[in-house]
Structure 1
């Protein structure tokens, strides 16, 4: 499996659309595409999977380290021979060089993969070439081994516009094609980013038309095999446990590698709190992040969270991340702009909904995000995901805040990031844990979770 990294000149340049269009073009050319995403995002990967038909791998150096990134990428090709992917396309995060702990450039360097630069060409020709050349040369200036192989011109017209860009490109840079400006290539967004791929996937016909000038032969020729990890993944023995994972529109932020790790070591069952499913017979529950605020009224009335609160008070371990923490709290107050997945009434009053009542906290949604960063946590109390003294790395991105009781027990001190109160993260109650941090299985957190059951 060879690979390419799609990096942008900035955020908002259209990396996702360019990546999806290229995935469609390669698929139509008979290639089996493995998608991946640089950075801790859950939303862009859902669009990758809708087009490529495979779960998108999360590649983040902060979350899992260089070897972890390489293992996660290599694992995509560790499948049955009949299902081997031909090429891996990695969509970058922000601009190519942006990010202090896991930029797109850092991921490309760790994997030793060439970069296809997505450049916004809507108002330039020769300047687009100059920008691309600058991005290529900047790598040498800062001592990074990054190969910017060429460009895809985003929002570029054909004819004189396209030819002007091609003529201006230096010989060191390939012109891989263009994505024309089209209204049907806009993905609706909401707080936390784009709508999920299951909600607003771009049509294949629109992507095919957009990718008509993408030169798949050139891209395949430019792709290289990713670097392999220096150390193999540690094997872990199965545990005699059943883990129940919430899985629906309210709890949809989970890494494929997390589900794989849980299935490798334990029995896994899923349930839907939105649908009112009963809490399964299990030894522990994992509540991923997602959008409980969009379904708060249903979650309040469906009964699953109430039952989960009762089970937790009896000693059932529950681990919730971000949206999971919100659902584990006593109450969730929405802004009035999205209690359901229907059109929101922006003039509606805030509404408070009862949640599971496991954690001594009341959560409130806000119009602006309250935290967005990679986070580092030092464990101060033994908990489901780490022993005291251990360090966990994760990511936080949330629009809510939690008002906690004065006698609350925290699991972690926040060395980097905001956490719950700017200094701590991880609310402890009964045998359960709720955090604002999303962690990757490469951190060992889910192994600790399984071994604590």
Structure 2
């Protein structure tokens, strides 16, 4: 599977819209397209899936390591993979778009905001190319995709100004229908605010798919380790509007080793009969009343007190707490398994790649092991004075006082999102 990376000159340049237009254009050209996202995002991939019809792969060197990124890339089979970058090409000390492009040896197409420039667009691309060479980075900047560019003289001026070695891959026209609305955790999810099909089709017509397919390359492959023996256990995974944030590779690893059943607490589902529970992150603050009245949380509290292994990440941690107070001041009772009260804020409280060091054996790590992940949340947790934590935070913020992994019974709640390549979910499955 050959691939190409769409990288921005900065955040907010329109990478997601450009990626969706490229996916649509390649599909119209007869290609099967696998979308992917550099960085630990959950929201942009939901838009990829809405257009491509298949889950988007998460590619992050911090979360997965170089070999893990290569393995995750090849967990799908398609004609071409389109990787959307994160922030600007070189931004991010944990795992930048440039780091992902280097790990996969993929060419970079630079998404440049061209609404007020022609030659300046070419100069920008040349600067990004020369920066890679002078910094000793193995980055192949193949050319530009002009975002918010008109046709005719505008597009011709950009193409003619590009120096030898930098190609013109087309443009995304300035159009109001090609915008995704924001909310407090970023953009709306793909199923909530899909782009207008006609507008996306019109944008796709201006993409030079022949040039994209010509420059796309196949990354190196690495050996895929045995996922380990099946546990024989049954794992219940929450999947609804409150628990959306789960990497595809994580669900695949869980299903490879356990009998996975899903349930929807906000829809009134009770907790299924199971040997363990996984509550991914998501938007519990938007569904506080439904969660408070859910029979699943009451059953979960009883089963957790009996020693059922329960793992909650971010939104899952919030649902396992005693209470959740929204930014508007509405308080909802949660499962009450973990000794904490959670409050939402108007500004984010943490955003970073994280590294955790296990103080003792816990559901996702043995004592002394480290786990790498990512945190992004607008909530804070007020924990009891005698609360117990499983992890010291080496990098990041965690829950409180440089600690993460709030524990009670055999329940673990973290603000950190982990990837299957970290080994955390294999450890969790072994605990079932």
CA shift at 1:232, angstroms?
3.2
Asked whether 1:45 is paired with 2:45, we answer yes
- What is the TM-score with the length of structure 2 in the denominator? 0.99
Structure 1 residues 168, 422: CA separation in 2 closer, same or farther (over 3 Å shift)? farther
How far has the Cα of 1:381 moved from its partner? 2.2
The answer to whether structure 1 residue 316 and structure 2 residue 296 are counterparts is no
Pick aligned residue for 1:400 from 379, 389, 396: 379
Report the TM-score, using the length of structure 1 for normalisation: 0.94
Is 1:51–1:204's contact at 8 Å kept on the other side of the alignment? Answer: no
1:373 equivalenced with 2:365 (yes/no): no
Query: Is 1:426 aligned with 2:418?
Result: no
Secondary structure in structure 1 of the residue aligned to 2:319: helix
Distance in 2, Cα, partners of 1:106 & 1:12:
20
CA contact (8 A) 1:312 1:318 kept: yes
The Cα shift of 1:114 comes to 0.2
Which deviations, in whole Å up to 9, do the C-alpha atoms of 1:302-350 show, x marking residues without a partner? 22212211111111111000000000000000012xxxxxxxxxxxxx1
2:394 to 415, 434, 450: 415
Partner of 1:183, secondary structure, is coil
CA distance in 1, matches of 2:37, 2:220: 16
Query: Matched residue of 1:217: which SS?
Result: helix
Aligned partners of 2:324 and 2:341 also within 8 Å:
yes
Q: Find the aligned partners of 2:207 and 2:45 in 1 and give their Cα distance.
A: 21
**Corresponding position of 1:4:** 4
Equivalent residue for 1:139, pick from 122, 127, 132: 132
Q: How much is the aligned-residue C-alpha RMSD, in angstroms? A: 0.8
Query: Residue 24 of structure 1 contacts residue 204 of structure 1 at CA under 8 Å; is this kept in 2?
Result: no
Q: What is the total number of aligned residue pairs between the two structures?
A: 432
Q: Deviations over 1:397-421 (max 9, x none)?
A: 0000000000000000000000011
Q: What is the rounded CA distance, in whole Å, between the counterparts of 1:322 and 1:101 in structure 2?
A: 20
SS in structure 1 opposite 2:163?
coil
C-alpha separation in 1, matches of 2:191 and 2:430: 33
Tell me which residue corresponds to 1:342: none
Partner-residue secondary structure (3-state), 2:394: strand
Q: Per-residue deviation at 1:192?
A: 1.2
State whether structure 2 residue 366 is matched by structure 1 residue 387: yes
C-alpha contact 1:36 1:90 (8 A) present in aligned 2? yes
Could you say what secondary structure the match of 2:237 adopts? strand
Measured in 1, the distance between the counterparts of 2:153 and 2:185 equals 38
Structure 1 partner of 2:120: 127
Q: Which runs of 4+ in 1 moved over 2 A?
A: 231-235
CA distance in 1, matches of 2:404, 2:379: 14
Indicate conservation of the 8 Å contact 2:236/2:276, yes or no. Answer: yes
- Within the candidate set 266, 274, 278, 2:266 is matched to 274
In structure 1, what is the Cα distance between the partners aligned to 2:37 and 2:425? 21
CA distance in 1, matches of 2:197, 2:41: 23
Quote the residue 1:68 is aligned against.
Answer: 68
296-305 or 401-410: which moved more? 296-305
Would you say the 8 A contact 1:71–1:233 is kept in 2? no
Secondary structure, in 3 states, of the residue corresponding to 2:192? helix
Alignment of 1:79-228 (within 5 A): 85-228=78-221
SS, match of residue 246 in structure 2: coil
Cα offset, 1:210, TM superposition = 1.2
Unaligned runs of at least 5 residues, structure 1: 78-84, 337-349
Structure 2: gaps of 5 or more residues: none
CA shift digits 1:243-285 (9 cap, x unpaired): 0000000000000000000000010000001011010110000
8 Å contact kept, 1:184–1:206: yes
SS at match of 2:73: helix
* 1:451 and 2:427 correspond: no
Cα contact 1:4–1:89 (8 A) shared by 2: yes
Deviation at 1:234, TM superposition (A): 3.6
Partner of 2:337: 358
Give CA deviations for 1:166-202 in whole Å, capped at 9, x if unaligned.
Answer: 1111011000000011110111111111110111111
- Contact (CA 8 Å) 2:227, 2:253: kept in 1 or not? no
SS at 1:184's partner residue? Answer: coil
* Per-residue deviation, residues 211-230 of structure 1 (Å, max 9, x unmatched): 2211101110010111212x
Q: Aligned partners of 1:213 and 1:325: how far apart in 2?
A: 45
Report the alpha carbon displacement of residue 233 of structure 1 after superposing the two structures with TM. Answer: 2.2
Partner of 2:374: helix, strand, or coil?
Answer: strand
Whole-angstrom CA distance in 1 between matches of 2:303 and 2:268: 15
Query: Partners in 2 of 1:262 and 1:66 — Cα distance?
Result: 22
CA–CA separation in structure 2 for the residues paired with 1:232 and 1:438 = 23
Superposed CA deviations along residues 10-48 of structure 1, whole A, max 9, x for unmatched, are: 000000000000100101111000000000000000000
CA offsets 1:48-101 (integer angstroms, 9 cap, x no match): 011111110000000010000000001112xxxxxxx10000000000000012
